[in-house]
Structure 1
Amino acid sequence: MKISINRLNQYIALSESPEEIAALLTRSGLEVEGVEEFVSIPGGLEGVVIGEVLTCERHPDADKLSLTTVDVGSAVVPIVCGASNVAKGQKVVVATVGAKLFPTEGEPIEIKKAKIRGQVSEGMICAEDEIGIGTSHAGIMVLDTDLPNGTPASQYFEVSEDHVLEIGLTPNRADAASHLGVARDLKALLGRPICLPEEKPLVVEKSGPSISVEVQNAADCPRYAGVVITDLKIGPSPQWLQNFLRSLDLEPINNVVDITNFILHDLGQPLHAFDADKISQGKIIVGKLPKGTPFVTLDEKERKLSGEELMICDPNGGMCIAGVFGGNHSGVSDHTTSIFLESAYFSPDVIRKGSQFHGLKTDASFRFERGTDPNMPVYALKRAVQLLQEIAGGKVASEIIDFYPQPIADFVIEVTYGHVNRLIGKNIDPTEVKSILESLDIRVINQTAKGFTAIVKPYRVDVTREADIIEEILRIHGFHQVELSENLNTDYLAEHPVKDLNKLQYRLTEMLAGQGYFELITNSLTKPVYAEKSGYLDSNVNVEIFNKLSEDLGVMRQTLLFSGLEVLAHNINRRQTDLKCFEFGTVYQKTSEGYKEGKRLAIFHSGNRSAESWIEPEKPFGFSDIYAVVERILERLNIEIGQVSMKESAPFTYGLVLKVGEKELGTVGLVDEKILKLAEVRQEVWYAELDWDLLTKKASGLKKYQEISKYPEVRRDLSLVIDKAVTYDQVKAVAEKAGGKLVRKIGVFDVYQGDKIEAGKKAYALSFILQDLENTLTDKVIEKTMSKLIQAFQDQVGAIIRS
């Protein structure tokens, strides 16, 4: 957002330099990202003066050149001129020796004393394109002026100089999205009054087109004001207005449109001018049109309406997407003589929907979707009408229409001095607290020794809670004035600090990157065919894109698997076959209640875990590798797995489902060949997908420690043959119950299913770590414990113990 220092000076007297103002605003929360110098004509015409041609003769050695002498005030200088229209007695624009010109096109030119075909030339008589004020190069400019020779050309052309602040406006400070808004902050910071233009009553000067207004939904449009102006003469704006707009990087269009842009940037109130003669039946309807209705906007593009955007209509159809963009048919043109000038307060939600759906970001939508001042529309309307009368010859042809059935109330906030001092970290005198708030137009009532009630005007959409009031006090008092104590601490109004999810993610990213993993960032859009042919995703819950770039990017992904497999295929096809990758990403689904999204962590292994070398042969990734990294992740987050069960369905050939309590934490396993074929991956892939939302919810920053036992561990192994239907979870539960406290850890180091055992059976090779924390285990105790385990496996899961 750009702010003109010249315009700020008309609101509040500023003796400080632009850099000092920038520092002051930045310190109070309006971060100034840069200060630029603005000159309405490039270079400011420095060294360019008004001169008079005293003599003009043909050049003896060049038919198309003239020899002139020109009075430039301080001297009479010879100038060789190539323009055909130069003549004795003309008042002209002269660039003297040393001047630097900035032409409309091309590089800057520095004027030097020169010899042209043997004749001395000490300057240049200029055309308009040579000094950057136009495009004509048909001849030199001949001026009609009585200004004395030597008068700086900047005076004749009314060159405007300014400093412009570039403010990085945060979304909460909608109130500061104007020169008036910034001036309000400077009023509080500098303790100086601001001067608003006088609000003059509007007097109807003549009759004009009769316009009525119907607002169909006051929730979307709480306030709608307008007035009819006739006898307008459309033309260029005066130089001061053009300079103001150009200083903000806006191109002047015509006096009516320029006035609406001026009011928007000056007061923060967007306006819109409709050609009154094009409003059918003299009726404006504020409402919504059916989904799919075509509407041609000012940029001459036809857009299909969503049915959710607010429209300004007449009985024939839409004229404007309210608060966002005007229509091509109803706008102001060179032939317009009468307008209906609109000034409204729209619901931020409905404007945001319309702006987002159509991808239209305008200066008006920027302000409306953040929240404008509901008390500003009529004042801004009157100010615009005054300018239309002065600049465009307009006449007021109607009373102001002001639809405002339910005025928006001020915010009422209870504040205690104890909270003020505790959160700021310093005791602020109640007198200063009141002074600061009142300088910000926040009324203080019901003062007691304990606190007060703050009355906040509705344009301060970011000040609705006690903490917001305290922030206002602090930013004006000054963060830099809060002394640091010897013992630093922080405080907050919430009962519990929130987990920093970014830190958790960064912690795991660091760990995985340190173990040689590459991070993937893939597109959330994916192919519909994955859900249709994968055999485990439901295509009915796909979130489809309305304006598809292509069929390959037609839906939002339900899993991170396929986008990751595409990356693996790309690398494998380029002979990068040994891959360890991970991705944090979002997945999406359509439900009966709307749309649902969740964050996932995906891990991929493919190829060999170690490259071939003379020390050891290449070794492909296996289940233990992918499961080990999942265990390390859970250990880093201090999460214990509750249940583990087998998964022998898509997308895995085989794998495990991990649970915490009754909730599924994730899955891990070998990706099925049919899935790999869909993504054109030609080698084995091990994959894990964890529910990052659940992980972060269960993650604990507290780690439990216990003293290391001085008594040794003992390992014993068992091989069980069990039915395929028996899960590892069941086996583990039996072992924990039968072994009691002595069984410290249970592991599976081999699983076999094949023709060497009975059909319908599988073999588990289990390891048991036994340890007594108070005594050294004896052989008798060990054998007794293992016998209990064997008996329990035989009785409870029908296991056959293999020798």
Structure 2
Amino acid sequence: MKISINRLKDFIVLDQSSEEIASLLTGSGLEVEGVELFESIKGGLEGVVIGEVLTCERHPNADKLSITTVDIGSEIVPIVCGAPNVAAGQKVVVATEGCTLYPGTGEPFQIKKAKIRGEVSQGMICAEDEIGLGESHAGIMVLETDLPNGTSASEYFKVEKGDVLEIGLTPNRADAASHLGVARDLKALLNREVCLPSVEDFKVDNTSLTIPVSIENSNDCPRYAGLTISNLKVGPSPAWLQNYLKALDLEPINNIVDITNFILHDLGQPLHAFDADYICGGKINVKKLDKGTPFVTLDDKERKLSGEELMICDAEKGLCIAGVFGGKGSGVSDQTTKIFLESAYFSPDIIRKGSQFHGLKTDASFRFERGTDPNMPIYALKRAALLIKELAGGEISSDIIDFYPNPIADFEIAVLYKHIDRLIGKHIPKETVKSILNGLDIQVVNESEEGFTAIVKPYRVDVTREADVIEEVLRIYGFENVALSENLNADFLAEHPSKDLNKLQYRLSEVLSGLGYFEIITNSLTKPIYVEKSAHLQSENNVVILNKLSEDLGVMRQSLLFTGLEVLSHNINRRQKDLKLFEFGSVYFKEGESYREEKRLSIFLTGEKTAESWLEPSKEVQFPDLYAVVELILEKLNIDNTSVEIVHESPFDYALQINLGAKVLGTVGLLDGSITRLAEVKQSVLFAELNWDLLAKKSKGLKKYGEISKFPEVRRDLSLVIDKKITFDEIKKVALKAGGKLLQKIGVFDVYQGDKIDASKKAYALSFYLQDTENTLTDKIIDKTMSRLIQGFENEVGAFIRK
């Protein structure tokens, strides 16, 4: 859920920074997942100014170019311009050297000093599409303005900027699904008043278009209100309303629909506007229709009704799935001149049924199925009607119809002070408790020394018990203000089933066997010479056998490496050179006067990857072949957030060390020839040794797979030029952070290093696969995700994006 800071300030006085507001809300239970800057024109026209063309002459080396001198306030600069309409004396929009432009289509680009056909150009005179203002590229923009040269273009075009909060709303906080709802929490947190726009100017102009309403079942629809507005004109919304919606990632449609969306996100009250000319019989019926009845929704799909969803109907047909989705034809179009405006409170259960049956999740159903405010429909109706008159003209042509036979009462909840102290774990003064509750619009009545009665308005659907009231006190008082006791305890200890390590090992053995690896079991006793000849093992850590059978079995192994190499040697000497082996085994260390035992997993890969055939030549195994197996192990064990670093240490020629935080999970790489020769292995060996104890401890259990998404996967490619020192792991981390849950996987399909780029650089060609498990991805969402990826690569690893 997105909340505009600028709009919040219309409800409540805020002098805190966006980050401080985010921290306050998160501490009170409205978790702010991010703060984004909204700009009505992308980039905010930073570095773009108003300039004046002083001179304009034809370019000596190009017929279609002109050489101009432009006064940009701070200096006069030469600019080569290709627009046919450029002329001396014009006031123009100038992108100055160093600024970045965000065109309506295509990638952003930076303005640099350049030579164009031999002439210096220090800027660009802009057309409207080049700065994201429109689509025209017929010529440069010529302005009629008296603003001085050098004035920021953002001032001329009235660029709107403001931070937008992304709130991860929990299902219980339906009351906070609006700007008003968030402002209510800030009211309690900051002890300030919330101001609602006045609707005192509302009046009925005439009753020339009255549409009666009948409700079949008041349990399904406890409250239904509406009115008509005639002689209105449908058209584009003003800039302020369009910017409000765009800041919330909504697409403006027309002034009527935009106003209903504005009210929904402002007040949390969904509205629906019907074209009054489409309402047959001149009346509205709220009822259920027969099972199997066909109904065409706004997305042009015919749906068969279940018979359980609530429908808004006229005398002949269904107009709308109540609280979920409108019907085709009944909505507002450019030809609409009169509307019936609906504002209702529906039973959450009936809306949830309709939404789930048809697989439709809308902003309206999101709120209705969690519970809206039954006292809001009339105020929202009046507020919307006044806005429609202001932005679309027209006249209110009926009295307000308000069907509300059984008003929903406030919740009355008995609360004891001793229970507040017991559940919170700290004594909170009574006056503080009452102040917090009053700030939350929870009235305190029937107060005594022992407790009081809390009167909770019905829009707080999550506050119906004493414990709920106490939770409200705690979240505003602040969890951080309740100190932890020295001895933590709980009234109830949930069962935490332990991991079955044998099952975990067995399942992983199945995975490795399925990849063609053979399991080996080797002796824990080994030769002391291996440690003496290896820089990565220490003799003082040897666990020496006192009653040794021979010198070859004189110590306990510190690594699975050499016993595994002995198996390789045995097989290679018998002409079995293509080997894939793994072992789960223990290693042993002496540390001072004590001993330590660890369980590890070793993997060996050597020889040819594929056997020689007439189809293709044989190919030797390579590092990625083994590293892919290690990645699969981490995936199967559900271990993420790992990092890697390159190492060139014994026993490896080169290797990657895999870390989880400050702990080393293991190492995978190509063994040094001097190490393999100790076991008389004369061919290259890839080896991985993983700390199985740590893997099992950090594993979140074997990864479970879900249903395959019904929605298509989308691939986008990027070419990055980065420093040679940047690893793919660093690139991957930035991508996963910026791409969020939509980014399913990343691939590298080309790596380039050569004379076409700087010697200290390399180029990665990356593929990104995006998928939403609940919806089909739109171009807007895809472009936004790719923009975040590009920005992340540029800011965090200094990448240059190749066009």
Residue 205 (structure 1) aligns with: 205
Q: Distance in 2 between matches of 1:385 and 1:98?
A: 48
Deviates more, 1:95-104 or 1:418-427: 95-104
The amino acid of 1:133's aligned partner reads: L
Cα distance in 2 for partners of 1:122, 1:191 equals: 53
Aligned to 1:126: 126
Distance 1:481 1:574, change over 3 A: closer
Closer/same/farther in 2, CA of residues 181 and 63 from structure 1, 3 Å limit: same
Unpaired stretches in structure 1, ≥5 consecutive residues: 492-496, 520-567, 579-803
Q: How high is the sequence identity, in percent, across the aligned residues?
A: 71
Q: Report the alpha carbon displacement of residue 139 of structure 1 after superposing the two structures with TM.
A: 1.6
Shift of 1:112: 2.0
Counterpart-to-counterpart distance in 2, 1:330 and 1:67: 56
How far apart in 2 are the matches of 1:225 and 1:577?
73
- 2:171 aligns with 171
Deviation sequence 1:671-726 (CA, Å, 0-9, x none)? xxxxxxxxxxxxxxxxxxxxxxxxxxxxxxxxxxxxxxxxxxxxxxxxxxxxxxxx
Residue pair 2:57, 2:66 contacting (<8 A) in 1 also: yes
Q: 2:312 is paired with a residue of what secondary structure?
A: strand
Q: What amino acid is aligned across from residue 229 of structure 2 in structure 1?
A: I
Deviation string, structure 1 residues 32-67 (Cα, Å, up to 9, x no partner): 111111111111001111222233222222111122
| Whole-Å separation in 2 of the counterparts to 1:53 and 1:350 | 65
Give the Cα separation in 2 of the matches to 1:361 and 1:474.
33
Rounded Cα–Cα distance in structure 1 between residues aligned with 2:315 and 2:71? 66
Q: Measure how far apart 1:425 and its partner are.
A: 0.4
Cα distance between partner residues in 2 of 1:573 and 1:484: 50
Question: For residue 57 of structure 1, what is the aligned residue in structure 2?
Answer: 57
Which moves more between the two structures, 202-211 or 412-421? Answer: 202-211
Aligned to 2:340, the other structure's residue is in SS state: strand
Alignment correspondent of 1:98: 98
The question of whether the paired residues in 2 share the 8 Å contact of 1:288 and 1:311 is answered with yes
Separation in 2 of the partners of 1:417 and 1:459?
25
After superposition, the Cα gap between the structure-2 partners of 1:573 and 1:48, relative to the gap in structure 1 and judged at 3 Å, is closer
Counterpart of 2:226? 226
- CA drift at 1:201: 4.5
Query: Where do residues 123-272 of structure 1 align in structure 2 (5 Å cutoff)?
Result: 123-272=123-272
Q: Where does 1:632-643 land on structure 2 (aligned, <5 Å)?
A: none
The amino acid across from 2:503 in the alignment is A
Q: What is the 5 A alignment of 1:577-592?
A: none
Distance 1:182 1:77 in 2: 49
Structure 1 residue aligned with 2:608:
none
Q: Map 1:647-796; keep pairs closer than 5 Å.
A: none
Cα 1:510/1:204, change in 2 over 3 Å: same
State the partner residue of 1:334: 334
For 1:55 and 1:573, locate their aligned partners in 2 and report how far apart those are by CA, in whole Å: 76
Partner of residue 354, structure 1: 354
Question: Compared with structure 1, are the counterparts of its residues 512 and 319 closer, same or farther at alpha carbon in structure 2 (3 Å cutoff)?
Answer: farther
Deviations 1:632-681 (A, max 9, x none): xxxxxxxxxxxxxxxxxxxxxxxxxxxxxxxxxxxxxxxxxxxxxxxxxx
Q: How far apart, in 2, do the equivalents of 1:313 and 1:279 lie?
A: 8
* Map of 2:439 onto structure 1: 439
Which residue of 1 is the match for residue 478 of structure 2?
478
Distance 2:97 2:318 in 1: 59
What letter corresponds to residue 48 of structure 1 in structure 2?
V
Give the whole-Å Cα distance in 1 for the aligned partners of 2:62 and 2:378.
66
Partner SS, residue 49 of structure 1: strand
Name the residue aligned to 1:23: 23
Counterpart in the other structure of 1:378: 378
1:213-257 CA-to-partner distances (Å, cap 9, x unmatched) read 111111011011111112222111111111111111111111111
Determine helix, strand or coil for the equivalent of 1:21: helix
Q: Residue type of the partner of 2:382?
A: K
In structure 2, the gaps of 5 or more residues are 520-803
Partner Cα distance (2:345, 2:31) in 1: 27
* CA distance in 2 between partners of 1:498 and 1:458 (Å): 34
**Which amino acid in 2 is paired with 1:199?**
V
Distance in 2 separating the partners of 1:458 and 1:195: 20
Secondary structure at the residue paired with 1:38?
strand
Structure 1 position 360, deviation (Å): 0.5
Instruction: Report what 2:448 is aligned to.
Output: 448
1:516 matched to 2:506? The reply is: yes
| Amino acid paired to 1:41 | I
How far 1:118 sits from its partner (Å)? 2.2
Provide the alpha-carbon RMSD of the alignment. Answer: 2.3
1:99-118 Cα distance to aligned partner (Å, 9 max, x none): 21111222222112222222
Question: 1:64 aligns to what SS in structure 2?
Answer: coil
Alignment check: 8 A CA contact 2:220 2:346 kept: yes
1:391-540 pair list within 5 angstroms: 391-491=391-491, 497=492, 500=495, 503-504=496-497, 507=498, 510=500, 513-514=503-504, 516-517=506-507
Moved more, 227-236 or 435-444: 227-236
1:163-184 Cα deviation digits (max 9, x unpaired):
1111110000000000100000
Report if aligned partners of 1:96, 1:123 keep a CA contact under 8 Å in 2. yes
Are the structure 2 counterparts of residues 498 and 395 from structure 1 closer, same or farther at C-alpha, using a change threshold of 3 Å?
A: farther
Alpha-carbon contact 2:216-2:286 (below 8 Å) kept: yes
Aligned to 1:289: 289
Q: Alignment length, in residue pairs?
A: 520
**TM-score for both structures, normalised by structure 2:** 0.62
Provide closer, same or farther for how the CA distance between residues 329 and 17 of structure 1 changes in structure 2, counting only shifts above 3 A: same
Change (3 A) 1:321 1:98: same
The worse-fitting range, judged by mean Cα deviation, of 443-452 and 127-136 is 127-136
SS in 2 for 1:394: strand
Residues in 2 aligned to 1:575 and 1:353: alpha-carbon distance in whole angstroms: 50
What SS does structure 1 have at the residue aligned with 2:24?
helix
- SS for the counterpart of 1:419 is helix
- Label 1:571 to 1:298 Cα distance change in 2 as closer, same or farther (>3 A): farther
State the Cα deviation string for residues 290-309 of structure 1 (Å, max 9, x = none): 11111111111111111111
Q: SS of the counterpart of 1:309?
A: coil
Q: Deviations over 1:520-547 (max 9, x none)?
A: xxxxxxxxxxxxxxxxxxxxxxxxxxxx
How far did residue 145 of structure 1 move?
2.9
CA pair 488-573 structure 1, distance change in 2 beyond 3 A? closer
Aligned residue in 2 for 1:524: none
Give the 3 Å change call, closer, same or farther, for CA 216–263 of structure 1 in structure 2: same
Secondary structure in structure 2 of the residue aligned to 1:355: helix
How far apart in 2 are the matches of 1:146 and 1:332? 41
Instruction: Return the TM-score normalized by structure 1.
Output: 0.62
Corresponding letter in the other structure for 2:124: M
Determine the structure 2 residue equivalent to 1:763. Answer: none
Measure how far apart 1:206 and its partner are. Answer: 4.0
The answer (yes or no) to whether the contact 2:210–2:399 under 8 Å persists in 1 is no
Q: By how many angstroms is 1:68 displaced?
A: 2.1
Contact persistence 2:322–2:351 (CA under 8 A): yes
Counterpart position of 1:317: 317
Contact 2:207 2:399 in 1 (8 A): no
- Amino acid of the structure 2 residue aligned with 1:161: K
| Secondary structure at 2:63 match in 1 | strand
* CA distance in 2: counterparts of 1:58 and 1:213, whole angstroms: 71
The aligned residue for residue 45 of structure 1 is 45
**1:84 is matched with which residue?**
84
CA contact (8 A) 1:27 1:479 kept: yes
Shift of 1:484: 1.9
| CA contact 2:83–2:139 (8 Å) conserved in 1 | yes
Q: Secondary structure at 1:186's aligned position in 2?
A: helix
What residue identity is the alignment partner of 1:84?
A: P
Q: What's the CA shift for 1:186?
A: 0.5
Give the CA deviation at 1:572.
12
Question: Aligned pair in 2 of structure 1 residues 117, 499: CA closer, same or farther (>3 Å)?
Answer: closer
- The 1-side partners of 2:84 and 2:251 are apart by 33
SS class of match (1:78): strand
Matched residue type, 2:461: V
In structure 2, do the counterparts of structure 1 residues 425 and 498 end up closer, same or farther at CA, with 3 Å as the change threshold?
closer
Q: Assess, with a 3 A threshold, how the Cα gap between structure 1 residues 61 and 514 changes in structure 2: closer, same or farther.
A: closer
Change in 2 beyond 3 A, CA 1:450/1:47: same
**1:787 corresponds to:** none
**Contact 1:209–1:277 (8 Å) recurs in 2:** no
Residues 487 and 359 of structure 1: CA distance in aligned 2, closer, same or farther (over 3 Å):
same
- Return the index of the structure with the highest Cα Rg: 1
Paired position in structure 1 for 2:702: none
Aligned to 2:750: none
What SS does structure 2 have at the residue aligned with 1:388? helix
